[in-house]
Amino acid sequence: MQRIGVFVCHCGTNIAATVDVKAVAEALSHEPGVVVSQDYQYMCSESGQELVKNAIKEHGLTGVVICSCSPRMHENTFRKAAASAGLNPYLVEIANIREQCSWIHKNIASATDKAVILGKAAVAKVHLNAPLTAGESPVVKRALVIGGGIAGIQTALDIAEAGFDVDIVEKEPTIGGKMAQIDKTFPTLDCAACILTPKMVEASQNERITIHSFSEVSDVKGFVGNFTVTIKKKARYVDETKCTGCGLCTEKCPMKKVPNEFNMGLDNRTAVYIPFAQAVPKVATIDPNYCMMLKNGKCGVCSKVCSVGAIDYKQTDRFIEQKYGAIVVATGFNPIKLDKYDEFAYSCCPDVVTSLELERLMNAAGPNGGTLLRPSDKTHPHTIVFVQCVGSRCDDEKGKPYCSKICCMYTAKHAMLIREKYPDTEVYVFYIDVRTPGKNFDEFYRRAVEQYNVHYIKGMVGKVTPKADGKIDVQASDLLSNEQLHINADMVVLAAAIEPDKTARPLATMLTTQMDTNDFFTEAHPKLRPVESATAGIFLSGACQGPKDIPETVAQASAAAAKAIGLLCKNSITCNPCVAHSDELMCNGCSACEKVCPYGAITYQDKEFRMPDRSTAIRRVASVNPAVCQGCGACTVACPSGAMDLNGFSNSQIMAEVDAICK
Amino acid sequence: MNKNEKDWIDITSGVNVRKCMRCGKCSATCPSYDEMEYHPHQFVYMVEKGDIEPLLNSVSLYKCLTCFACVERCPRGVEPAKVIEAVRLTAVRKQGNNHLLPDQIPDMLDDDLPQQAIVTAFRKYTK
Amino acid sequence: MQVNENFEPVIVAFCCNWCSYAGADLSGTNRLNYPANVKIIRVPCSCRVNPMFILRAFQRGADGVIICGCHPGDCHYTSGNYFTRRRITLLYSMLDFLGIERNRTRLEWVSAAEGAKFAAVMNQFVEDVKKLGPNRRLEDLRCRKQ
């Protein structure tokens, strides 16, 4: 038999002014199971709590109902008080008779009636409360960072700094990502490589950081604090431990006509290659699509010239399994493909380039050694037209609906750099809006206009036509002077929209994290939890969450690291005990709950059951991982057999409350 | 009347002019831009404002080739050609049953431009 | 139908812990009035509300049931209120089929900042239910307390 104590708080006059607290205590004392019913001036005060504790001990209470303010205010206070008196904290229920009763109503009679009903509902609920214990699950003190761009590097460095082991998984042969390809950075115009490569080296030399380059995540299992990840180390046909990065093989390789992806295909590399001089790890990789030895077994030059015998044509993909406590996603972005934009002639004219291609054309380590030349005839361009918002802010299937955020700034940067280096060049920028929020950003754009005489024209380019004389006719509208322009240009630069990396979508499925319709990862809360995913233990860093420039990416990377460190610091995680659980005997294995769970907390297992006729049967039943479940209860309603229930808000408890209110 | 006209144009064109982000790509791509007093982006903007009277009286209505370049290129899917077509339709209907008398036709013909009516009809019914 | 001036309906409100329950608290903190007929049951998320609970409430003599959740897209559990929306839509068609007045059940989105909206919604809902009169169709007379 339950022994329930009811405690009604006056809250000074906050409650007592409109609710007859004595009458409430009196009415509730007649409820079944109630052995003690008291009222007190301030229940949350030290002496008020003492009253509750003494009553628990004295009457051997099995449940406590506090009629007071909102549970959002003092639920924890009373739970702690109960725990200190030896009662399970989850046997305490609060009836909200202040915010939702006394403060709302003016009529004492009706407010008192309502308070009694709310109290009865709480008593009815507490009858069915079960003692709950918060579970604990251990935390593996190692983090995984997926993606080795500036976001991943920064996150890894910060986590390593805090004293935890970190693994970086990078799908390319080197870390560095998009920033390594960029020439200069806005708004300071310092060289990207000069600030990035020291960080790359730092990451490679930090003994807590392990870099898995040319690798991919192939499987993720587990939950917060205890992920098991399978990493696929793709065959690079070079022994990483032996290769010294001398580059002799890349010089001697006879296959020299491979488009160089690091330079956006603007020049060629060899089949065995090191992406760029500062690559980390500085190890050669053989491209099996072009290597003649791997394709038809004839060549082998690289293995002959390699003095350390690092070349291994027989290498295969390897899989390694590792446990992690936290995972940070930093998969980054790519510019979109522009082949659907016929009007810009990108596919048919080599002098129409994307902004990232222009970065390489202007970079000292790029195809032209830093001199800006037209890709078609290697002459100096005298008129350059920049087109903004190519594929951004589009409502159709060709483009992206969002603003890519970085284009306004890098276009201003390009225009400025070109005008600085080649003052005889006329630069036109066609813009719809110039969006430059950020520290020193608008000043930067104004400098491009005012100091560098870049022609900013409000309007859009409608048509780009390559002409027989090698020039390019750019037809555009100037909305402010209300005329249609024709510009005889030498080069056209398209500010292509950016999109999340294609590997992000399958990764999100593996991690059971959510993505928006544009394949950007969704943060747990758009304002208050911007670097966490809704899945516990998975954090977001950089442009995989939304378009970002470098300062923002680095800020978010460090924020994600801080969140990951906060998790790794703990030896174990206390789980919320108000989670779902399934009654295996009732579960029919239909998977309805699994489909609605936003956290992937529900898995199915084949279990052996004894049947009524004493035979055994294998049945597929749901099981909830309490460390992952957040307790929303979506599954409890989806469950057709009624097997799924939620601790603390069980079906019977809510029904009891409904009944108490309706009586 | 003005508001009704705007609603009427919204309905007949099936276009949501509020989707326009004022990039001007329609006008940038328009082949008969120089022939027009009001340009495609202005049609969209003025219809959005409800400023339809000047459009109804403008020859620009009949200079649109209905080539659909603006429809093809518009990043927001606004379809300016359909707006122009709807304004044109409004102008035609306002003239009642006698909107075109046979002896008016010679004055309206323009040798430099293709037979817009035919072209329009073709485009409209094949699109 | 004759409107009985003295009819005091029983209203059950399910409020999600993160938005609507906090919104209800806020309307209290701001001392905004709504009728005492409304009794709130706290649930972790609006998606915890099984349509069974609503039917149970009607069976036990409730005259109106209102479910409040976070605005779509703002759910603390990311997608819970979308489930609620679908489930309640289905429940509506079932109630329509049974001939229960549509206005007895309502789904509202109330955020934690919308104390005023919470009070306004409750005032409106109680008024609507008063117009409908007592719930006689679904009430189980065996459950009625004498």
* CATH, residue A600: 3.30.70.3270
> Which residue is closest to B30 within chain A, CA to CA?
A462
CA angle B68, B64, A484 (to 5 degrees): 85
Cross-chain residue pair B30–A462, CB shorter than 8 Å: yes
Cross-chain residue pair B28–A475, CB shorter than 8 Å: yes
Q: Say if residue A122 is in the same domain as residue A170.
A: no
Is pLDDT of C118 > 50?
yes
Q: What is the DSSP letter of A243?
A: -
Out of A646, A657, A659, name the one closest to residue C48 (CB): A646
Q: Say if residue A328 is in the same domain as residue A224.
A: yes
Q: Say if residue A587 is in the same domain as residue A636.
A: yes
- The per-residue pLDDT for A653 is 95
> Which of A95, A128, A161 is at the close of a domain?
A128
Give percent of chain C above pLDDT 90.
68
Inside any domain, residue A310: no
> Which of A128, A152, A173 is at the close of a domain?
A128
In the numeric block, the tokens 């800006």 are attached to A372
Q: Say if residue A327 is in the same domain as residue A443.
A: no
Q: Say if residue A527 is in the same domain as residue A623.
A: no
Is pLDDT of C1 > 80?
no
Residue A380 to chain B, least CA–CA distance (Å): 27
Q: Say if residue A472 is in the same domain as residue A392.
A: yes
A610 sits in which H/E element: strand A602-610
Chain B residues near residue A394 by CB distance under 8 angstroms: 75-76
Cross-chain residue pair C77–A114, CB shorter than 8 Å: no
- The per-residue pLDDT for C3 is 55
Q: Say if residue A323 is in the same domain as residue A175.
A: yes
CB A238 within 8 A of CB A283: yes
- The per-residue pLDDT for B19 is 93
> Which of A516, A541, A568 is at the close of a domain?
A568
d(CA A53, CA A178): 61
Q: Is B39 on the interface with A (CB under 8 A)?
A: yes
CB A577 within 8 A of CB A627: no
Residue B106 to chain A, least CA–CA distance (Å): 30
Question: pLDDT band at C106, cuts 50/70/90?
Answer: very high
Q: Say if residue A326 is in the same domain as residue A181.
A: yes
Is pLDDT of B24 > 60?
yes
Mutation target to probe the A interface, by most A beta carbons within 10 A, among C48, C63, C70, C74 is C48
A580 sits in which H/E element: strand A580-582
Inside any domain, residue A397: yes
Out of A395, A463, A484, name the one closest to residue B75 (CB): A395
Inside any domain, residue A41: yes
Regions in chain A scoring below 70 on pLDDT: none
CB A200 within 8 A of CB A532: no
Mean pLDDT of chain C: 90
**Chains touching chain C, criterion 3+ CB pairs below 8 Å:** A
Residue B28 to chain A, least CA–CA distance (Å): 4
Inside any domain, residue A382: yes
Inside any domain, residue A654: no
Question: pLDDT band at B100, cuts 50/70/90?
Answer: low
Task: Please state, in angstroms and as integers, the Cα–Cα distance from residue C112 to each residue in A72, C68, C70, following that order.
Answer: 12, 11, 8
Is pLDDT of B110 > 80?
no
Q: Is B44 on the interface with A (CB under 8 A)?
A: no
d(CA A168, CA A159): 11
Out of C27, C44, C57, name the one closest to residue A632 (CB): C44
Q: Which domain holds residue A163?
A: 142-233+317-332+502-568
Inside any domain, residue A90: yes
Cross-chain residue pair B69–A462, CB shorter than 8 Å: yes
Out of A70, A646, A658, name the one closest to residue C41 (CB): A658
In the numeric block, the tokens 């009809």 are attached to B121
Question: pLDDT band at B114, cuts 50/70/90?
Answer: low
Cross-chain residue pair A459–B23, CB shorter than 8 Å: yes
- The per-residue pLDDT for B3 is 66
Give buried/exposed letters for A441-469 (b at 16+ CB in 10 A, else e).
bbebbeebbeebebebbbbbbbbbebeee
CATH label of the domain that carries residue A172: 3.50.50.60
Residue C2 to chain A, least CA–CA distance (Å): 23
Out of A393, A463, A475, name the one closest to residue B75 (CB): A393
What is the number of structural domains in chain A? 5
Q: Say if residue A372 is in the same domain as residue A490.
A: yes
Q: Say if residue A208 is in the same domain as residue A270.
A: no
Which class for A28: exposed (0-12), middle (13-18), buried (19 or more C-beta within 10 A)?
Answer: buried
Chain B residues near residue A477 by CB distance under 8 angstroms: 24-25, 27-28, 33, 39, 41
Q: Say if residue A495 is in the same domain as residue A506.
A: no
Inside any domain, residue A79: yes
Cross-chain residue pair A479–B41, CB shorter than 8 Å: yes
Give percent of chain B above pLDDT 70.
76
Cross-chain residue pair B73–A476, CB shorter than 8 Å: no
Residue type at position B120: T
Cross-chain residue pair A476–B28, CB shorter than 8 Å: yes
CB pairs under 8 A between A and C: 133
A329 sits in which H/E element: strand A326-329
The answer, yes or no, to whether B and A have at least 3 beta-carbon pairs within 8 Å is yes
Inside any domain, residue A519: yes
- The per-residue pLDDT for A195 is 94
Interval B53-80 mean pLDDT: 90
CATH label of the domain that carries residue A70: 3.40.50.960
Residue B23 to chain A, least CA–CA distance (Å): 5
Q: Is B76 on the interface with A (CB under 8 A)?
A: yes
- The per-residue pLDDT for A528 is 85
Interface ipTM > 0.90:
yes
Q: Is the peptide bond before C51 cis (omega within 30 degrees of 0)?
A: no
Q: Say if residue A450 is in the same domain as residue A543.
A: no
